[in-house]
Structure 1
Amino acid sequence: MSRKAVAVVTGGNKGVGFAIVKGLCEHFSGNVYLTARNETLGLNSVGKLKELGLNSLFHQLDLKDQASIDNFKEYIKNVEGGIDILVNNAAIAFPNVTSVPFSEQADETIAVNYFGTLRVCDTLFSILRPDAKVVNVSSSAGHLTRIPSQEIRAKLSDPLLTVEQLSGYMKEFVNDAKMNVHVENGWGSSAYVISKVGVSALSIVQQRLFDKESEKRNIIVNSVHPGYVDTDMTNHKGVLTIEEGAKAPLYLALEDHGLRGQYVWNDNSVVDWFGPPPS
């Protein structure tokens, strides 16, 4: 008996992640896994979908906990056999006004948004099925030009950039933030920006690595800016609904678009990550 196709969304219990799960339940003919760090919140969200007549499955997944990710991988491997769609949506953002020192903001934001996403990818990529699609949710903040330093931008846009080098640059930013020299060293003043630039750059490197696989699985990786959405992440200042924010991620996950290693805007258009951002 053939197994069903499988879609996985991280950070799926609220906001854009919840809307992505909802959209997948409506348009994807397979099992849809809503994952979240908090089991109670995750199950509550599955219940809300159930009330709408939509069926999703829940599994606990914490981006900062390798044991949690390993447990999820083994579950999917044993129960489902593999993954066809992976949407890396889970992320954090500190409010503009906060008492948390910037050094701590930098450490936590990079740990979750960049290294947490990388940890999930490193663990789950081995069970991606042929023709699987990976959607890394970035941001307009994830455009390369958001970093002031031309030297740093050149490093991140190196066509031979490796994951190890990229991770090293992310650690360098955190160290500079702890020394309070991040602005003078060209990183700028937003930890969220650096984390999302990291996710965008990671997506390009990941596609290059998949394209070089000896046994090509035709895995597709793209990053996406969902738009300025009314969520906790934007302190509810966003102008788009979560359903509008989910449109581009769902397009990349479900449609036969032919895009590979691209940075996609919320209107489904491809934006040059290396060039000027959209006005």
Structure 2
Amino acid sequence: MSSLINPETLSTFLEYSKPQSALDLVSLAALGVVSATYLVKGIPWNRPDPYYKRWFERPQFKDGFQSNRPTVTRNIAEKLKQTKVVIFWGSQSGTGEIFAQKLARECHLRYEVDAIAVDLSDYDPETISQIPNTKLVIFILSTFGEGDPSDNTAGLWRWLHKNSPEISLPGLQYAAFGLGNSNYKYYNRVVDVVVDSLEKAGATAFIPIGRADDANGGTEEDFLSWKTNLFSVFQEKLGCQEREIIYTPTVAVKEDSSLQPIDLHHGTPIERPSGSKGRSLKTYHIQALDVT
């Protein structure tokens, strides 16, 4: 059987493959190192550190010590044992969250109704079915893009779509307000789909659905109009009486007489060049303001 490679060809190839200079030797060595590094894929030096897990250990728990921090629940029904109204917000830009926070505060100030504003993603959507009919549930939901829900509404969205035939909410008392823009094809699609799913599950809306239209900058006005209807329900169905809103500060300023001047940071003048090189420095004066 004849050889597949001509001996003369092989001899010529070996002759030309010999390094001709020091640069060839360096190049071959570098190529060998790179090839070896690629083939071993970092195995020799990427061995797992057996002590790495100790960075995440808490020695205080080894002897049976338990944290005093309250357990955070993802069951909204458990959370509602402490309050009357829950306001779920689903927002991409933050407008829905702002409305929810303001509404919760106003419920307390005007009607002494305990209300909490919560991120939809902080609770498991299936626990909504455990909310008793003595509680009120409010949804403030935004629509963005091509009729898509906000990121934190995704859990509720999937639950309503995947489990629609099995969901039963006969005791749920709810209200809903949507944030959208009529310039887009799917105007307020998210709140419409959610309300439709809730109705099919047997939930009861205690006021008509509200829809904000940002096309003409009327979002705030639409929300105020819907909120008026909401508060009328507080008066008629809950028997709440509106009271005069008393200013309640969110922060308290207290003087600490134990501090010494050395402990405080004093405003000092800042000197910066006021113009071209060689000109005098311009001083910016900093003065302390009286706090009343």
When Rg is computed on C-alpha atoms for both structures, the one with the higher figure is 2
| TM-score class normalised by the smaller sequence | 0.3 to 0.5
Given the two structures, how large is their TM-score scaled by the length of structure 2? 0.35
Normalising by structure 1, what TM-score? 0.36
Higher relative contact order, chain-length normalized (CA < 8 Å, sep 6+): 1
